Structure 1
Amino acid sequence: MTSPHFTFSVYLLTFALLLQTLYAASPLSHFCSKSENFTANGPYESNLKKLLGNLNYQTPPLGFGLGSVGQYPYQTYGLALCRGDVAARDCKNCVSEASNEIHKRCPYNKGAIIWYDNCLLKYQNRDFFGQIDNQNKFYMYNVRNVGNPTTFNQKTRELLSLLAKEASETPKLYAAGELALSESKKLYGLTQCTRDLSSADCFKCLDGIINELPRCCDGKEGGRVISGSCNFIYEIYPFLNA
């Protein structure tokens, strides 16, 4: 006979896992373009569906995909990027979820962008490839403060600047690393750009968002600045996927 305590514990564990799954699948943020809308069941929507299908197929093997479908004035351009430490299977799931969710949140907008922890998806009715996106941007930070913010902020900038240079010099435009804060503590970081950018523009994009550290995450144990073209993460604990 199953004890009531065991049954209740299983229910709690199941509920906790369900919450974790739902949280993991929740978007970090999204923006819908306010400039133009398209007509339901029209040529732009047809091209957009084809584009999203292509990105779902192209992105997982390499972690990045981009392309366009159609001809002016119904042509649509898009890209998808998965975080550099994410496995192909998780990348596929994230891009698929992003494609479904962005349609719900921006159903008739000709341009939209959505971010998850594991990926981003973006499309527009104009060619934006190779251009740094400084308009679509948001901050996230750990609510806990560090004990010595001046020194910590310097170390954070030092690590992220090193990773920005490293990322801009690699084909995947991605880098991750760590920096010792003391004998027992480390700082962990990640930098990444969308691969439509040149090496120089990747560094320019990352350098720009690193300069926003004082506004974003001054003295915080962890933080992110996430844009439509690049992003960084830093934390005082390991966060990369194995």
Structure 2
Amino acid sequence: MLSIFGSVHILAVVGIQLLIIPSVSSLNLTNAYLHHKCNNTEGKYSHGSAFEKYINLALRAIDSDNFLNGFGYIERGEDPNKVFVMYQCRGDSYGSKCQSCISAAVTGLRRRCPRNKGAVIWYDQCLFEISTINSFNKIDYENDFYLSNPKNVNNKELFNKETSALLVELTNKATDKNNMVGNQFVLYAAGEKRIGTKNVYAMVQCTKDLVTTTCAACFEWIFKMFSKCCDGKRGGRVLGTSCNFRYELYPFLRN
């Protein structure tokens, strides 16, 4: 089993939520649901409203995408009914894999947060968010959670040090200004490292609306959660709507 914790920041008070989800296959190529959040502060919309119309227009725009870029940020409508929709797929899951994940995410979010104007859902291979707030190139410090393996490694200090170093190395790759496809920053990197007798596999990723400096700042923020999430754990990850990292003692990405 994996332990999953979510942190919610309200007036400097941190709320912790504990959930349990089933473990997935060793290569983790499933599209497992991970977590969601209904943002009730943004309110709800009614059937037949202008907001519902614009959400449906945004979703149709996503449906016509080819998902080869693995990212979309769509704005529809006019104030006070403006809708912002974002999706980001994991760096090894673009194209048809991304499309199937986003399809599941849209269905899942509508079921779990019916008629919410603001909501986000995470699956293993993607995240999907709707909002009334324009968050383009802005770090979301409010919506995050972490998963960790309850089992510990033997040499905790060495493991923490070397795993952190691997994540920093991958961050430098992901935020390299020369790491581009076309005119867009990749903002994703994956790699592995031998630590003691174990291979550690890791990845880092930002949403593609960010620039490299904003992405680096997001990584700096979520790495502060490493000790809370991952101290000596055989696997762990922190996920937000702007960036995430993960490491395991088994391969979990496609080649």
| Structure 1 equivalent of residue 230 of structure 2 | 217
- Unpaired segments ≥5 residues, structure 2: 1-23, 180-184
2:73 paired with 1:66 = yes
Choose the corresponding residue for 2:151, options 109, 121, 144. Answer: 144
1:178 paired with 2:192, answer: yes
Q: How many residues align?
A: 221
Alignment gaps of 5+ in structure 1:
1-18
Contact conserved, 1:173 with 1:194, CA < 8 A, in 2?
Answer: yes
1:3-42 alignment runs, 5 A limit: 24-35=30-41, 36-42=43-49
2:174 to 156, 167, 177: 167
- Name the SS for the 1:189 alignment partner: strand
Contact 1:69 1:77 in 2 (8 A): yes
Of 191-200 and 54-63, deviating more is 54-63
What are the Cα deviations for residues 99-127 of structure 1, in whole angstroms up to 9, with x where unaligned?
11111111111111000001000111121
TM-score by length of 1: 0.87
Q: Tell me the residue number matched to 2:250.
A: 237
CA distance in 2, matches of 1:172, 1:70: 29
- Confirm or deny: 8 A CA contact 2:31 2:125 kept in the other structure: no
Whole-angstrom CA distance in 2 between matches of 1:153 and 1:48: 43
> Which amino acid counterpart does residue 30 of structure 1 have in structure 2?
H
Kindly report which structure 2 residues correspond to 1:100-179, keeping only aligned pairs within 5 A, or say none. 100-169=107-176, 170=179, 171-179=185-193
Residue type at the aligned position of 2:252: F
Report the alpha carbon displacement of residue 139 of structure 1 after superposing the two structures with TM.
0.5
> How much does 1:25 deviate?
4.2
What displacement does 1:57 show? Answer: 3.0
Aligned-pair identity (%): 38
2:212 maps to 199
**Runs in 1 of length 4+ with deviation above 2 angstroms?**
23-26, 55-59
Q: Matches of 2:215 and 2:31 in 1, distance apart?
A: 28
Asked whether the 8 Å contact 2:68–2:94 carries over to 1, the reply is: no
Cα deviation, residue 185, structure 1? 2.4
Post-superposition Cα deviations, 1:36-87, rounded to whole Å, max 9, x if no partner, equal 1111221101111111222233361211111101111111011100000114
Is residue 84–residue 131 contact of structure 2 (8 Å, CA) maintained in 1?
yes
Residue 69 of structure 2 contacts residue 94 of structure 2 at CA under 8 Å; is this kept in 1? no
CA distance in 1, matches of 2:148, 2:155: 17
Greater displacement, 57-66 / 140-149: 57-66
Choose which of 78, 82, 85 in structure 2 pairs with 1:78: 85
Larger RCO, structure (CA 8 Å, separation 6 or more): 2
TM-score, structure 2 as length reference: 0.83
Are 1:55 and 1:79, in contact at CA under 8 Å, matched by a contact in 2? no
Q: Which has the larger radius of gyration?
A: 1
Which residue identity lines up with residue 58 of structure 2 in the other structure? L
Task: Name the CA shift for 1:59/1:33 in 2 (closer, same or farther; >3 Å).
Answer: farther
